[in-house]
Amino acid sequence: MLGLLFTAFKKKRSLEETVLKIQQGDISLRNDTIESFKPFIAKTVSSVCKRYIYESDDEFSIGMIAFNEAIDKYSPEKGRSLLAFAETLVKRRVIDYLRNQSKQKEVLLDLSLNDDNDQSHIYIDNENSINEYEKQKESERRKEEIHLYISHLQDFGLSFEDLVENSPKHADARKGAIMIAKLLMEDDELKETLFAKKRLPVKQLEGKVEVSRKTIERNRKYIIAVAIIINGDFLYLNDYIKGAIDG
């Protein structure tokens, strides 16, 4: 068992080192890496399109571009693996492409219609289908984001239920905890301590905020949970934070 864990760690470390070399300008290594991960890209794109994807498909090309983008933007300090980050980015870029294609079809159909009643029904049906498709895809993206977020919480020994149960009851207290989390993410030293040691640097925070150590301790789980959202690529969960501040 320990041997398997060690092998997995070496593979992750090796991939991170490869990405670092690519980011430093090794074009040949970039091409080789992208080529070796074509099956991963195809599988990820297929999961979005709900069909088998060929390398000749436009969606596959979008996936390749997104994977290349993931290599450029990847940073191990964010606390996630390259493949997890790449999977999220590839899915989002393909979804955006599909949504854009749907909108273009809607415009073309609109231009081709005349006053014929039957054609009007066709347009309405098509518009409803597109809206339903977009709602479905948005729901899927939300679920994917929550699953990814839960995996990050687990790294800190937390669960999604902890975020709900430990959320401060009063709006002012929530805003205060969120501001502490933001300060935490803006301070490189505190941020590094949080993600390296997987614990809240309470003592260091105490000297930087105008609340007591007891208050920080009481909201510890909530502050960590919010900090993970701020640090990650969580589009919908970040809306939650904005709502908590504005509300």
The model's pLDDT over 194-242, given as tens digits with 9 standing for 90+, comes to 999 999 999 888 888 888 899 999 999 999 988 988 887 777 787 777 7
The model's pLDDT over 51-67, given as tens digits with 9 standing for 90+, comes to 888 888 888 999 999 99
Comparing 83-92, 103-112, 171-180, the range with the smallest average pLDDT is: 103-112
Contact yes or no for 100/130 (Cβ under 8 A): no
Contact yes or no for 60/45 (Cβ under 8 A): yes
**Mean pLDDT, range 106-111, rounded to an integer:** 48
Q: Which residues contact 47 (CB under 8 A, 6 or more apart)?
A: 91
107 vs 142, residue with greater confidence: 142
Distance, in Å, from the CA atom of 173 to the CA atom of 187, rounded to the nearest integer, reads 21
User: What percentage of the chain reaches a pLDDT higher than 70?
Assistant: 77
> What is the pLDDT at residue 12?
45
233 vs 171, residue with greater confidence: 171
Q: Taking the CA of residue 133 as centre, how many other CA atoms within 13 Å lie in the half-sphere pointing to its CB?
A: 18
Residue 246 dihedral angles phi and psi, to the nearest 5°: -75, -30
